[in-house]
Amino acid sequence: MELDGKAALVTGSAVGTGRETAFALARLGCDVTINYSKSSTEAEETAAEIERETGRRALCIQADVADDASVRNLVATHVKELGRLDVLVNNAGTTAFIPHNELDKVGEDDWDRILGVNLKGAFYAVRAGVDALREAKGAVVNVSSVAGVIGMGSSIPYCASKAALNNMTVTLARALAPEIRVNAVAPGFIDTRWFKQLDGYEVIKEMSADRAPLKRVCQPEDVAKSIVDLATSELITGQVLVIDGGMSLAG
């Protein structure tokens, strides 16, 4: 699928991987919607930079993807303003950093928020955009995690949410074919501010890189490139692409 003249919606795209994905799509000719929950300043800056650098339109729309009504408004506003929806990237995500063996530290609110954003949010966005995506013969790319493949990550609810997202990706690919393709990327450790809040961040990053056969961790640009590849590859659907430098091969 050629992207010139198309329109893309990237959830959670004020910063990090979402920001790089929005830039990558705009550079290839897409008008883009920058969605954010709380990072309004960063979202406005991202949109302004995209318009200045690429000449494409960049909207900023606030929405909590865990809220169905908010997502429906997000998608409706995107389609009204940009006229179409060719690419939906479900990038918005959240977690809680809880050691896996400390079960009592996992609260009901952790489950509700993590599943609400990481899993239900992706479903809400696809459901809200399905008519526009079908009309455009578009593509969905869900941003999952290697945590959903190997069961190692920031918390048990996070791993479970990403495993469920991987499964839902396959289910939606079957349900929405042939008009809509649905795939996912599953990055390993990404060098973004999300991980930089961790104590010992540099040590964890170095250990992750050392564990990977390719000896480096993901950068947001690496993930964005793979998202664009899946969005534009017309014979790929129902796939979960692991992007971790081979880290998961180490077991």
Give the pair of three-digit tokens for residue 230.
């899946």
CA separation for the pair 145, 148 (Å, rounded): 6
CA separation for the pair 51, 42 (Å, rounded): 14
Catalytic residue (one of 36, 124, 158, 201): 158
Give the pair of three-digit tokens for residue 213.
């056969």
The position carrying tokens 């899993």 is 119
Cβ pair 51, 57 in contact under 8 A: yes
Our answer to whether residue 36 is catalytic in this structure is: no
Of all residues in the chain, what percent are helix, strand and coil, respectively (each to 5)?
50, 15, 35
CA separation for the pair 179, 216 (Å, rounded): 37
> Which residues are tagged catalytic?
158
